[in-house]
Amino acid sequence: MHPDLSNSIRVPLVNISRRGIQHTWRSPPHVVDPCNGVQCHQYGVCEHGRCRCIKGYEGDGVFECRYR
């Protein structure tokens, strides 16, 4: 197991077979934040891995967000 996930939540899986019910524990799939490490403009926000300007501003969200 990845050391950063050692304290993560674990979920039970139930396997029903001829031998009876068997319980195993697995960690849920690791969710990657697409905005992790994305640098947006001072007046920009990251959504789904892409920068956009906040309401009232326009531009590319990365290098420019100017007041409308």
Give the start-to-end residue ranges of the domains of the chain: 3-67
Residue 26 pLDDT:
72
Q: In this structure, what token pair is assigned to residue 31?
A: 């969710």
Residue 17 pLDDT:
66
Which residues are registered as beta bridge partners of 22? 15
Using alpha carbons only, how large is the chain's radius of gyration in Å?
21
Residue 33 pLDDT:
94
Quickly tell me which residue has 């304290």 as its tokens.
7
More confident site: 63 or 15: 63
Residue 42 pLDDT:
98
pLDDT digits (tens, 9 = 90+) for 12-49: 666 666 777 666 667 777 889 999 999 999 999 999 99
Sign of the C-alpha dihedral computed for residues 47, 51, 52 and 55 taken in this order: positive
